[in-house]
Amino acid sequence: MKKTALVMGMLLIAAILAFVSGCKQGSAPDSDELVELTWLVWNREIIPPEQGTLTDNWWTRYVDEQVAPLGAKIKYVIIPRGQEEELISTMLAAGNAPTFSYTYDLNLIKTYINGGGIADISTLVDEYGTDIKNFYNNSPGGLDDFKIGGKLYYLAYLNNWIDPKTTYIRTDWLNAVGMSAPSTADEFYEVLKAIKAKDPGKAGSALVPFALEGGTGYWESEVLPGFVKTPPALERFLTPLPMWPETKDCFRWLNKLYNEGLMSDEFLVDDGNLFKQKIVRGEIFAYCWSGHHPYYPGYGDLYKTLKQNTPAAVISSIDTFKQSNAPWAGFSPEKNPTYEYYWFIPSSEKNLEIAVKVLNWMATPACRDVSTNGIEGVDYILKDGVVTPIDQAAFDSKVGFVNAQYNSLGVPSVYFSSDRNVTILNSIVGFDPMFKDQLLKEARLSSEYKYYKPSIPGLTPIGDKLNPALEEYWEEEYPKLIYGPASGFDARFDAVVKTYREMGGDQVAAEALDIYRTK
């Protein structure tokens, strides 16, 4: 009996070991058999110390578990967020761009497609990209929006959240000077003069009545619409902004603000840090920014910090530059509101099949949901379709740093609710609860844009060749138009635009329009 029992026990152990071995073989290869793929990470320096490092934290371990059955392991390539465009271009040129790369610069991607530097993933997505195809059914044109010559070279971050730009003001200061919220550029100018004269926040010489973050950013999406008097057709957005007639009026107005001491040039070469510091110190009255930044933990909880410093401070969003034809949430001349940054795999990647399998996993609801909200039942529960953190502080620490730095193919599945309030509430899960009622009232969804830059589904060889020099020229010149003397503004602006056109602006516009109209 003892011998029989021993034999039976040995057989049972052998069976268990065989079962475990079989499960291991069926679920994932051994670690030394996994193919190493690389993933670009934007370092925003926002990972809490208790969460580890950008190369070793709960998210990187989760990714390892998910991609191992696909035959992959991930190595992260970390770059400073502010150097993204420069470094990704350098890496592409050197042939060592990460497997999973992304950039806001679609012109850069098209340049490298034309030069053979971006992988054609069409066939592999057809075979292994079921989740990719399902996810992009949510976009206006599906995967066709990303095809060039019938081939798929890139994907885009598919968006539907509170991204539209707005103007923020210190409402408590506005009340202190006894004025109403401005609804036109002229009214805004009068408010700024009153703020400068009366300095209700007692900021003294540090006071900035109006600021544009990072130098002159956001004029395109927030200030320019206030000067557009007729509804713009989609084709209009394919004309470079320097060539819009309203751009001159917009810049003349900004130049007037600067020369009357209502704007500051101290943000011209700022990386954003000074701008944020002055917000929380209570030194800026009004500024243009994305429609969530002051509230967002990923950008430093600026409104919360401001209220800690100055409890009576009140920030609110206003429709200063709203037009009947171009409302605040309906005008995006600088980008397509549905798509943000663009994902691609460089042609230097040797394990393209496995890479596309991982890319397909990145499109799954599981990946998108976890990267934004963590694990259901562990970090949050769903209440009436809204993600509700089990422990808000723990949720903020664990989840807030992930999507802002590792990025994803798109927003979570809960952002596509038919109830816009549910979508907005899910967009602000990680935000401080004290601001949720205000955000629910003020926020606009990116899907609510009325006017925006359409996608151009094709190569633009003229634009690829000329745009880098055009963009560099404009970036150098337009700050000078704002910060230059008032006298002679028209002549300086006309000269800049004349040079821009001579450098190829008209050719770029004609090519884009031709491709769009014949697509």
**Mean pLDDT (the chain, rounded):** 88
Q: Find tokens 């300095």 and name the residue.
A: 199
Rg (CA), the chain: 26
Q: Residue 399's Cα: distance from chain center in Å?
A: 17
Structure-token pair, residue 44: 């925003």
The pLDDT score that the predictor gives to residue 28 is 60
Pairwise CA distance, residues 294 & 283, whole Å: 14
Q: Name the pLDDT band for 1 (thresholds 50, 70, 90).
A: very low
| Average confidence (pLDDT) over 284-295 | 89
Phi, psi torsion values for 140, nearest 5 degrees: -55, -45
Strand order in the sheet with 101-103: 101-103, 339-344, 154-158
Domain at 165-334+453-518, CATH class: alpha beta
The tokens for 389 are 């953190």
Residue 176 has what pLDDT?
98
Q: What is the pLDDT of residue 135?
A: 94
Q: How far apart are CA 173 and CA 208, in angstroms?
A: 13
pLDDT at 298 exceeding the cut of 60:
yes
Fold of 26-160+338-427: D-Maltodextrin-Binding Protein; domain 2 (3.40.190)
Is the pLDDT at 407 greater than 60, yes or no? yes
Which residues have C-beta within 8 Å of that of residue 115, sequence separation ≥ 6?
none
Q: Give the up-direction half-sphere exposure of residue 396: CA atoms within 13 A in the CB hemisphere.
A: 14
Q: Between residues 83 and 325, which one has the greater pLDDT?
A: 83
Q: 434: left (phi > 0), else alpha (psi -120 to 50), else beta? A: alpha
Per-residue pLDDT, 319 = 82
Whether the pLDDT of residue 12 is over 50: the answer is: no
Helix (H, G, I), strand (E, B) or coil at 190: helix
pLDDT band, residue 70 (cuts 50/70/90): very high
What's residue 329's pLDDT? 62
Residue 260 has pLDDT above 60, yes or no: yes
Rounded to 5 degrees, what angle do the CA atoms 112, 73, 400 make?
85
Answer yes or no: are the C-beta atoms of 347 and 118 closer than 8 Å: yes
Query: What confidence category does residue 459 fall into, taking pLDDT thresholds of 50, 70 and 90?
Result: confident
Q: How confident is the model at residue 390 (pLDDT cuts 50, 70, 90)?
A: very high
**Portions of the chain given CATH number 3.40.190.10:** 26-160+338-427, 165-334+453-518
Mean pLDDT of 351-380: 96
| Token reading at 479 | 């700050």
pLDDT (tens digit, 9 = 90+) per residue, 101-114?
999 888 889 889 98
Q: Which residue has the higher pLDDT, 357 or 445?
A: 357
pLDDT tens digits, residue range 489-509? Answer: 999 999 999 999 999 999 999
- Residue 204 gets the label, from left (phi > 0), alpha (psi -120 to 50) or beta, of left
Check residue 300 and report its DSSP letter: T
pLDDT tens-digit profile of 138-189?
887 889 889 988 899 999 999 887 877 889 999 999 999 999 999 899 999 9
pLDDT for 11: 37
DSSP for 302-320 reads HHHHHHHH-TT--EEEE-T
Query: What is the average pLDDT across 374-392?
Result: 95
